[in-house]
Chains A and B, each alone.
Chain A
Amino acid sequence: MLALQILIDGFAISALYALGAVGFTLLFGVSGVLNLSHGAIVVVAALIGWAAASILGTYLGNLVGVLAALAAAYATYFAVVRPIQRSPAIPREETEIFVLTGTLLWSIMIQVGAAWWFTDNPVTIRPLIAGVVNIVGVRTPANEVMIAVLCWVVIGLLWLLVNRTRAGRALLAAAINPRGLVLLGFELDSIYLLVWTIYGVLAGIAGVLLASFLGVGTNNIGQLTASAFSIVVMGGLGSVSGSLVAAFVVGYLETLTAYLVAPTLRPVPALLLLVLVVYVRPQGLLGRR
């Protein structure tokens, strides 16, 4: 009984982690940007979705939330990341640390700004579908099932986009060899714009779903960024399938700890495992060197 409960809850939380981390890893793989304002963008979607839902209803509200995350992702790219990448005063080998610092500062600005504009209490968006379903004797909210399914549908759509469309293949190529792609006549700028668009939408969906599942607030921003970062590193930076595997490992490990040991220790085993993975296999579970 407890085992089933863990299995179901762990699946839902893992699917959400996976959705959050996939955009993050894609962004790194394609454009080499580690976006430390990830958590802030996710929370922007949740907060604006929550505020819009009270006026426009749940469905439209969620949509507005996703659009808000897209806008926040564009703002991050155009106001912070691109100026740093193009600045002549920043040496090339130091771009990475400047992007890290810049996005971190941006994240704090969003966090404080959102807390001031809206609230720093966690917000919860009304579930998209009500009711409870009975899965082999475990009463599960229908919303939780829908979230897990929706996450996988979105990830599936992403897979189709990347592997089956021309634009998606250009993304893959940019992850492998950007210079070759430029020589073939592709505009790198438009590819970066595409990957930020995908990233914004993914982060937005993760944000509104998280808000309807657990509820999030501006105080979770750091934790959200940290968990996406750890999942992505554990799976291998830039490897989408690695992130999926790592998301499930972390999700289940946390759920197991919370149910069987103590809820307060929830993040500890996952962190220890992360350290172990990084020492033994620095490229991550499925990463390339």
Chain B
Amino acid sequence: MARILRSPLGWILLLLLAAAALPWWVSAYILGVLTVSYYFGVFAMAWDLLFGFAGEVNFGPTFLIGLGAYTAGILDNTMHWPILVCAASGALVATLGGLLLAVPALRLRGPYFGLVTLVAVLLLQNAIVIFAGVTGGEIGMNVADVLSIDAATNYWIGLGFMAVCGALLFGLSRSAIGLILQASGQDAIEAAALGFNVTKHKIAAFCVSALFSGLAGAMLVFYEGTASVDTVIDLAIVVQIIIAAVLGGRRTILGPAIGAILLVVGGEALRPLGQLNTFVVSAIALAVILFFPDGLLGHVLRRGERE
């Protein structure tokens, strides 16, 4: 027992077990909030792979999420394939979209790259309104199938999904590829001089990020039973993902997931404040950025290193 408490992995497993036991303790409403926050956690982790490691500011995570979500939803409504096939196709389309976006966009640096990804979101948003016949336009689209109607089952699926994605992304970030990405993010010229193909690695990182974003987007659609611009594409979602990643601690992969959960749960807990809850959440996030720029997990880790 003492050994488990001393290793970080042990802590994570204990936390996951505790989280998995929640359906026996709390109401379906809280489970619903947490389930959404787990999918957000995957969005934020996928974004952190690009930002924290590859050093690219992607303002378009919802371009990838939206592609996955809408592809899965449309396929489900028109082809009536099983949910898993639809979700996988959504992830595939998101990856292709990410590739299409990344190959030319990565020629650009810093703010220009950010802008192109931002424009991609705005264009997707417009495209969905233009093709309202298939996509439901601004109102949104109902999908024929849902993952489950039981809150606890949905909760476990969400938790398991986040755990698996987190493990994969974390493993990737700690592998040689993750190190090369980190090097190219911090000093692209030096990384290239050491013989690493910086562009190839960054495109790979973008595709991996797109794959997980798209898959999570598709899963979210099958959990909620609807896809709409407001829930998977709107710029407000982009802002939430970025805040979650910076709040939790960039370059830690697991931190952004924690940040996302805190953000969603915090927003829900502050709901009695009405409109002002967004104000309070943003103010807290801004304070974290100003005073603990490493984020929550980054701050803890850094203090651990110092001791």
Using a CB–CB cutoff of 8 Å, the interface residues on chain A facing chain B are 34, 80, 83-84, 87, 89-90, 93, 96-98, 100-102, 104-106, 108-109, 112-113, 115-116, 222, 226, 229-230, 233, 237, 264-265, 267-268, 271-272, 274-275, 278-279, 282
**By CB atoms of chain A within 10 A, which of B51, B116, B235, B290 has the most?**
B290
Which of chain B's residues has its CB closest to A222's CB?
B235
**Given A84-B289, A282-B107, are A109 and B279 neighbors across the interface (CB < 8 Å)?**
yes
Contact between B115 and A101 (Cβ–Cβ < 8 Å)? no
Q: Whole-angstrom distance between the alpha carbons of A237 and B108 in the complex?
A: 13
**Given A230-B119, A278-B112, are A112 and B278 neighbors across the interface (CB < 8 Å)?**
yes
Which of chain A's residues has its CB closest to B111's CB?
A34
Residues of A within 8 A of B123 (CB): 268, 271-272, 275
Given A226-B118, A271-B119, A282-B112, 8 other A-B residues pairs in contact with their CB atoms under 8 A: A93-B186, A97-B57, A108-B278, A109-B282, A109-B286, A112-B279, A267-B126, A278-B119
Residues of B within 8 A of A90 (CB): 293
Contact between B286 and A80 (Cβ–Cβ < 8 Å)? yes
Which of chain A's residues has its CB closest to B234's CB?
A222
**Given A83-B290, A84-B290, are A101 and B276 neighbors across the interface (CB < 8 Å)?**
no
**22 pairs, CB–CB < 8 Å, chain A vs chain B:** A80-B290, A83-B290, A84-B289, A100-B57, A102-B286, A102-B290, A104-B242, A109-B282, A112-B275, A112-B278, A112-B279, A113-B279, A116-B274, A116-B275, A116-B276, A271-B122, A271-B126, A274-B119, A275-B116, A275-B119, A275-B123, A279-B107
The 9 closest A-B pairs by CB, nearest first: A112-B279, A105-B286, A108-B282, A90-B293, A112-B278, A105-B282, A109-B282, A89-B293, A116-B275
Contact between A229 and B115 (Cβ–Cβ < 8 Å)? yes
Question: Within the complex, what minimum Cβ distance (angstroms) separates B62 from chain A?
Answer: 13
Question: How many residues does chain B have at the interface if contact means C-beta atoms less than 8 Å apart?
Answer: 39
Question: Within the complex, what minimum Cβ distance (angstroms) separates B107 from chain A?
Answer: 7
**Given A109-B279, A271-B126, are A96 and B111 neighbors across the interface (CB < 8 Å)?**
yes
Q: Whole-angstrom distance between the alpha carbons of A100 and B243 in the complex?
A: 11
Residues of A within 8 A of B130 (CB): 264-265, 268
One of A84, A108, A226, A237 near B111 (C-beta < 8 A): A237
Question: Within the complex, what minimum Cβ distance (angstroms) separates A59 from chain B?
Answer: 32
Residues of A within 8 A of B243 (CB): 101, 105
Contact between B119 and A115 (Cβ–Cβ < 8 Å)? no
Question: Within the complex, what minimum Cβ distance (angstroms) separates B254 from chain A?
Answer: 20
Using a CB–CB cutoff of 8 Å, the interface residues on chain B facing chain A are 51, 57, 104, 107-112, 114-116, 118-119, 122-123, 126, 129-130, 186, 235, 239, 242-243, 246, 274-276, 278-279, 282-283, 285-286, 289-290, 292-294
Residues of B within 8 A of A34 (CB): 111
One of B110, B289, B290 near A96 (C-beta < 8 A): B110
Residues of B within 8 A of A100 (CB): 57, 111, 114
Question: Within the complex, what minimum Cβ distance (angstroms) separates B143 from chain A?
Answer: 25
Q: Whole-angstrom distance between the alpha carbons of A96 and B186 in the complex?
A: 14
Question: Within the complex, what minimum Cβ distance (angstroms) separates B149 from chain A?
Answer: 34
Q: Whole-angstrom distance between the alpha carbons of A98 and B276 in the complex?
A: 24
Contact between A98 and B57 (Cβ–Cβ < 8 Å)? no
Q: Whole-angstrom distance between the alpha carbons of A104 and B57 in the complex?
A: 14
Q: Whole-angstrom distance between the alpha carbons of A105 and B263 in the complex?
A: 13
Contact between B119 and A106 (Cβ–Cβ < 8 Å)? no
Question: Within the complex, what minimum Cβ distance (angstroms) separates A226 from chain B?
Answer: 7
Residues of B within 8 A of A233 (CB): 111-112, 115
Residues of A within 8 A of B289 (CB): 84, 98, 101-102, 105
**Given A229-B115, A267-B122, A268-B126, are A282 and B282 neighbors across the interface (CB < 8 Å)?**
no
One of B119, B275, B283, B294 near A89 (C-beta < 8 A): B294
Q: Whole-angstrom distance between the alpha carbons of A230 and B285 in the complex?
A: 26
**Given A222-B235, A226-B122, are A278 and B108 neighbors across the interface (CB < 8 Å)?**
yes
Which of chain A's residues has its CB closest to B288's CB?
A105
Which of chain B's residues has its CB closest to A266's CB?
B126
Q: Whole-angstrom distance between the alpha carbons of A8 and B170 in the complex?
A: 57
**Given A112-B276, A272-B123, are A230 and B115 neighbors across the interface (CB < 8 Å)?**
yes
Residues of B within 8 A of A282 (CB): 107-109, 112
Q: Whole-angstrom distance between the alpha carbons of A100 and B115 in the complex?
A: 12
Which of chain A's residues has its CB closest to B285's CB?
A105
Q: Whole-angstrom distance between the alpha carbons of A268 and B115 in the complex?
A: 15
Question: Within the complex, what minimum Cβ distance (angstroms) separates A241 from chain B?
Answer: 19
Which of chain A's residues has its CB closest to B294's CB?
A89
Which of chain B's residues has its CB closest to A283's CB?
B112
Residues of A within 8 A of B275 (CB): 112, 115-116
Contact between B110 and A109 (Cβ–Cβ < 8 Å)? no
Residues of A within 8 A of B114 (CB): 100
Q: Whole-angstrom distance between the alpha carbons of A233 and B119 in the complex?
A: 12
Q: Whole-angstrom distance between the alpha carbons of A106 and B287 in the complex?
A: 10
Question: Within the complex, what minimum Cβ distance (angstroms) separates A264 from chain B?
Answer: 7
Q: Whole-angstrom distance between the alpha carbons of A84 and B107 in the complex?
A: 28
Contact between B282 and A279 (Cβ–Cβ < 8 Å)? no
Q: Whole-angstrom distance between the alpha carbons of A115 and B115 in the complex?
A: 27
Question: Within the complex, what minimum Cβ distance (angstroms) separates A38 from chain B?
Answer: 14
